[in-house]
Amino acid sequence: MTAPLAERLRPNNLDEYIGQSHLVGKSGPIRQILKSGSVPSMLFWGPPGIGKTSLANLIAKEANRPFYTLSAINSGVKDVRMVIDKAKQSDGFFQNKQPLLFIDEIHRFSKSQQDSLLGAVEKGWVILIGATTENPSFEVIPALLSRCQVYTLNEFSKKELLLLLDKAIEEDTFLKEKKITLKQTDALLKLSGGDARKLLNNFELVVNSDKSDEIIINNKKVEAVVQQRSARYDKTGEQHYDIISAFIKSIRGSDPNAGVYWLARMIEGGEDVKFIARRLIILASEDIGLANPTALVMANNTFQAVNTVGFPEARIILSQCVIYLATSPKSNSAYMAINKAQALVKETGDLAVPLALRNAPTKLMKELDYGSDYKYAHDFKHNFVEMEFLPDEIKNTRLFAPSQNAKEQQIASRIQQLWKGKY
């Protein structure tokens, strides 16, 4: 049986690897690690289909080390221990080249399963490479997290995805025998959602469905061939991401009925209660924020409550939270403010902290006027005094823009009164 296109097209070396130049480029940390010959345990964090597994394979190949792989979806403590025992008996272990143990979806491991890895990592029996689509700060136990370097993998750009399609046409053993023309690619890109694995496998599906001598790929053909997956919720596959997307967008769109429906789809599919609750916490800040600050309190309390109660009763708590968030006023002002602030930092670099705002713990710093012009707000009427808190190069920059809802308009009114129209 022929392997899927995405599997056949895996890169053979780092130079063939597409994307993640910040990690594998000439000065990238992973390339530097491989040059040094000392490979640490690491965690790859990023969305699905962006090359986490391929990168782990390449590291093992480039470092010339034994490679073992497990999936957290269908492996338990027994499987982990078996692999560790096998790794300890391998030639690489005795040649001072610890084997690499790759664990896909490591966030799905329970605390006890993650604990079973600790000793092996700490004693150097294996070098762990874990792949996760979830924030490792929340999903990986602190003891294991502290022993791993965390690398964030970025989504593919449109240019990189098109490069993958061209590579498939030119290099794949089966496809290069066919005459394929990419006339339109929008549908392929849209249906992939940035997932290279899905992109390549959908592309192969479309190509194989066409028996003509010259295969022309256009949007209409792609949409006709690429059928929707089963309505069944698959928490280990693409439905996991499609349904959580529909869930979030329904709540953001103030539709409690759709929000509860998609919640039910996840519950019936056996989704992790922590995954659902954590998404609600993010939404409460990103999409509701200052329009109703209590939303974040409600979402955080929901997270604590459902972890205490568990299913099936947790469904009631989740339903209450979903309805509350869906019917709350919406604002993304906090989300937009931090986006603008980060973009400004990237644009302007490490601007000097104004002298008035600097700490002065030493005599020399005091002599250099560190903090000398600082005005202590509580010494003034209404606990406020006007002064510039930004570096001179970006003074008077406005990053926070209150939305048109009652709560934020109150905030805007107060800020405008204090700052005399600055906002």
Q: Which residue type is seen at 11?
A: P
Residue 337 covered by a domain:
no
Distance CA 316, CA 95 (A): 56
Distance CA 311, CA 279 (A): 17
195 touches 37 (CB < 8 A):
no
* Same domain membership, residue 255 and residue 319: yes
* Same domain membership, residue 354 and residue 319: no
Distance CA 312, CA 319 (A): 12
230 touches 242 (CB < 8 A):
no
Residue with tokens 């999409």: 287
Decide which of 197, 225, 253 is a domain's last residue.
225
Residue 249 covered by a domain:
yes
* Same domain membership, residue 174 and residue 75: no
Question: Which residues are CB-contacts of 286 (< 8 A; sequence separation ≥ 6)?
Answer: 332, 334, 335
Range of the domain at 253: 238-326
214 touches 179 (CB < 8 A):
yes
Please give the chain's pLDDT, 423 residues, in tens: 578 888 898 999 888 899 999 999 888 999 999 888 889 999 999 888 889 999 999 999 888 888 888 888 777 778 888 888 877 776 555 456 788 899 998 988 888 888 888 888 888 888 999 999 888 888 888 899 999 999 999 989 999 999 999 999 998 888 888 888 889 888 898 888 788 888 998 899 898 888 888 889 888 888 888 854 434 455 555 567 778 888 999 999 888 898 998 999 888 888 888 889 999 999 999 999 989 999 999 999 999 999 888 888 899 999 999 999 999 989 998 999 898 898 888 888 888 877 777 776 666 656 556 667 777 777 778 777 787 777 888 888 877 778 888 887 887 787 777 787 665
- The dihedral built from the CA positions of residue 45, 204, 170 and 172, taken in this order, carries a sign that is positive
* Same domain membership, residue 394 and residue 312: no
CA 346 from centroid of its chain's CA atoms: 20
Distance CA 153, CA 202 (A): 23
* Same domain membership, residue 144 and residue 23: yes
Residue 7 covered by a domain:
no
* pTM exceeds cut of 0.85: no
Residue 5 covered by a domain:
no
* Same domain membership, residue 63 and residue 136: yes
Total number of domains constituting the chain:
4
152 touches 42 (CB < 8 A):
no
Report residue 389: phi and psi, to 5°.
-105, -5
